[in-house]
Amino acid sequence: MEVYGVSLRGKNKEYFKEVLTVASHFSRLQEMNYVINTLPLTDQTAHFFDGRIFHHLTDAGFINVGRGASVDDHALIQALNQGQISFAVLDVFNHEPLPEDHPFWHHPDVHITPHISAVTTPEEGAACYVETLKRIEGNRVLQNKVDFKRGY
């Protein structure tokens, strides 16, 4: 499988055949069989996945394990109905819990998962906590820091 990424800088990373910038990724979308959203929610990513992106796809699978508000629900439904998206696996939504009358519940090509795309085991959580505490007490640089200017 060839894996492509999209980022603000387009800096290549291990395991990716190519990393495109947000501005240049449209040129490659028509080649994609699957699109996987792992975006954080920022001003720049709100409704990032909209009709402009879906328009470039043909029969692609769409998986959202990023943030729900990074997807325009109406545009996704249209893309599913028009065959631009062949199926969608959705773990997160604009409004949670997903309202009972939302069209995602009844669409035959939408698969809903219970917001568990990144399960953290108790052991992983405890190990992260202990490592963070050791770094704080040792006055060492913390891992997994949030950059408030970037929004993630």
> Cβ distance 53 to 62 under 8 Å?
no
Locus of tokens 């568990």: 116
Which residues are within 8 A (CB) of 81 and not within 5 positions of it... i.e. 6 or more apart?
none
Distance CA 140, CA 136 (A): 6
Q: Which residues are catalytic?
A: 67, 115
Report residue 63: phi and psi, to 5°: -125, 125
